[in-house]
Structure 1
Amino acid sequence: MDDYELSRNVFSSLNCFFCDNTKDNWTVDLNENDDDGNIGYSIKIKGVPNNTLVLKTDILEMKKAFMCAKGECKRADFAIIATGEKKIIFIEMKKTKLNNEELVKQLKGASVFVDFCKLIVSEFWGRPDFLRGYKKYYVSLSHTPLAKGPSKSNSKKNRIHHLKSI
C-alpha cells in the first residue's frame, strides 16, 4: 500500500480532502472559519496533483494534553501532502498582518502534528517508511479576507510569504 492509500485509511476520520485519480489536476479551496463558524477567509489553489491529501491540522484540541506555555498547542491551518511529488506544504492563513513569532510556532506545530501522525503509522501500522523523505515547505498568506463582491487583485494587500526554514 503506497503512502496515499495508507493516508486514506489513517486520516479518514480527520477533517481532510483526498485528490484521487479522477482528474489531471485539482482545484482546492482552503477555507478558514471565523469565531462564529462562518467562512472568514478563503484561498483557491489550482493545479493540485492527483494523490494529494489536504489535511486540516488545527482541528484537534491540544489544550487537554499540554499547558501550551511555549506555543506547543499552536498549529498552522493546513498541510498539503503531495504523495507523488513527496512534498508537504504547511499553510497558515491570516486575515491581517502577520506576527512572525506566532506564525513560526503555528508552522512548527503543524509540522510536529504530521510527524506525530508518521510515528503513529510507524508504530501501529508497521510502516516506518510512511511519508519518509518528503520535502517540507512552509507558507504563510496574509490579508486573505473573503471578498464581499467582485474585486480586482491588490498586489500590495495580498501577500504570500515563503519561509525557508523555521
Structure 2
Amino acid sequence: MMRHNWFPNPMLGDPKPTRSLDCSVNQWGFPDRPGIILRHSSDLIGGYAEWVVSGLPAGVRCAFVASCGAAEATDTFRGPLMEAQDSRSATLGRSENWASNKRLRVGLTVPSDGVVRLIFRGRAGKDTAFYQIICTEAGSDESFFTGSTMPLNIN
C-alpha cells in the first residue's frame, strides 16, 4: 500500500500557514527531521498556526503526528499543542496540552468534504518547534514516515 503525507514538507518551500496568530512560522530542523518553529510575538499568549488541508479521502482514518521541542513544566499553551478540526471548526481530535521532546499523535476520521484544519499551538513567550510532521493514513506503520513523503532510512 502506498502511503501519503498530506502535510506540506517545510523543507521544500515556504511553510506559510493558512492562518496564524501571535507568531511567525519559519522552517526549522534538519533534512531528516524537517519542521516548523512558531516564533512568538506576544509574551502573554502562545502562538497559533493552522494549515487547511483539502483533498483527503473522506471517511479514512488518519493520524496527525509530530514531535514537539523542549519545554519546561512551567510553560503554558493556549490549549492542546496539536488539534485537528473539520472545515466548520468542529474538533476531530486533540493532543496533550503539554509535552517536551515528545511524539504527539492525533487520530481523526476525514470528514465527507475531505477538508481538515491542522493546528499547532505554541508556548506563551517562547518559541515552539514541531518536527517530523505527518498527516497520513492511520496504521501500525505510520511512525515509519517522517515529515516528507519518503520513509525513514532504516539500517
Would you call these one fold, judging by a TM-score over 0.5? no
Greater per-residue helix proportion: 1
The structure richer in strand per residue is: 2
Tell me the TM-score normalized by structure 2. Answer: 0.29
Query: Using CA pairs below 8 Å that are at least 6 residues apart, which structure has the higher relative contact order?
Result: 2
Instruction: Report the structure number with the largest CA radius of gyration.
Output: 1
